[in-house]
Amino acid sequence: MHATRPPTPLTVIGGGFAGLTAAITAAEAGARVTVYEAHHTLGGRARTAEGPYRTNEGPHALYNGGPHWTWLAQRDLIGPLAPLPPLETARLRLHHRGALRRTPPFAMLKLLSPRRMGRPAPVDIDFLTWATEQAGEEAARAAANYAAVALFHHDPGSLSAAFVQERLRRATKLPPEAHYPRGGWASVIDRMAARAWNLGVRMETLSRVDSLDALTGSGTGTGTGTGGHGTRTRVGTGPIIVATSMDAARRLLKDDSLIWPSGRTALLDLAVRTRRGDAFAVSDLDAPGWIERFTAQDRTLAPAGEQLLQGQFPIGPHESRADGIARAEHLLDLGFPGWRDRVTWRREATANGRTGAVDPVGTSWRDRPAVDRGDGVYLAGDQVAAPGVLSEVSFNSALAAVSLALGRGARNTLDLKHA
């Protein structure tokens, strides 16, 4: 009689979207998984704020063209969606040449045609140069700024043409790929956490890991989660998946090579009393920036009689948050008349290096920090070497990390070469 092989222990540091994806995937493969999360709630940047105004701290939409949509749907983790009423789609406004318009420049439409978008842009040329050759400078600048909704970068035209084109294609595809989980991203995270729990994943919240020694049996670390209660704990050996921000991973792994460009963005959350005629969204084509009224598709995000607006305005290295907020307020003046007298709640923030990877000219996702860091340590997150848009990078890197950690090879789970 053969002895039953014990399940492989696997540790995940970080309980955000990448960490939960890794935990579920590994547990489904039979691993014994422990997740350590520094905060009191799971979700990371995919958390949704508690209270009357349900703002998201991470991406606001799920793209059904990506592999994570299929993965979530197969496990019934997406849940109810909040569709955008057809009338609201007619309330998209574009800020161009200092005024609000209903349609983009004609040359920009030519650039976005299936024929042009179907030809892959080069990696080694910046988007502005490539797009100018295709449709002229005005169209190129307008398209680059429109693409900022999925880039969070102050100068999209300076990035790799291939990188920007893919995000522009996904952001402008018809019918739209973007879908909105009702109640915000927290509803998806809650379902993912419940599935992980039912699979036997041990989840330790309020447990910050400051050293990998604590996870390899060669040292100790502090933990205040369900098994720690503030005491020093030891964890069994096994592969480790670091599913944190790149900054946190660099400190934890003591690896200065873990760095990749990201955006710096002024964020504005605003609740205003409802007024007929407000725009659904305002995209700035003169500079990177976007404001969206998220209660247009999901009225549960704010109290009755109020609307929740969220704006993101990328800012350059020498700009301040105030510079981005000033641009936001200018668009609000144009698209939401009288908004200043209708404000019921307001919050500002700066997202620095928390908006995913951007690829400079001459680079692609393959050049970002590798998933496999050696010695049984793997990396997952939105700045890691994996394809996709926004949260899709976290998802793809998490699947690759689990596949490598469990010795199955990345391509058994995810064909990174052709993704």
Q: Which pLDDT value is given to residue 52?
A: 94
Residue 365: helix, strand or coil by DSSP? helix
Query: How many other CB atoms sit within 10 Å of the CB of residue 155?
Result: 20
Beta bridge partners of 401: none
Q: Where are the beta strands (DSSP E) in 279-342?
A: 281-284, 290-293, 306-314
pLDDT in tens, 41-77: 999 888 888 889 999 876 578 888 778 899 999 999 9
- Name the 3-class secondary structure at 80: coil
Point out which residues pair with 372 in neighbouring strands. 378
Question: What residues does each domain of the chain span?
Answer: 9-80+184-259+363-413, 91-175+262-357
Give the pLDDT score at 58: 62
Nearest by Cα to 389 from 168, 192, 176: 168
ω into residue 80 within 30 of 0, thus cis?
no
Report phi then psi at 139, rounded to 5. Answer: -65, -40
Query: For the chain, what is the total number of helices (H) and then of strands (E)?
Result: 14, 17
**Selection from 149, 147, 121 nearest residue 134 by Cα:** 121
Task: Determine which helix (DSSP H) or strand (DSSP E) holds 293, and give its type and residue range.
Answer: strand 290-293
Q: 9-80+184-259+363-413 with 91-175+262-357: one CATH topology?
A: no
Residue 412's alpha-carbon distances to 18, 394, 403, 415, in angstroms, are: 19, 18, 7, 7
Tokens of 150: 């999925």
| pTM for the model | 0.90
Tell me the sheet residues that pair with 36.
13, 204
CATH class of 91-175+262-357: alpha beta
Q: Which residues of the chain have pLDDT under 70?
A: 1-5, 58-59, 214-237, 409-419
Fold classification of 9-80+184-259+363-413 is FAD/NAD(P)-binding domain (3.50.50)
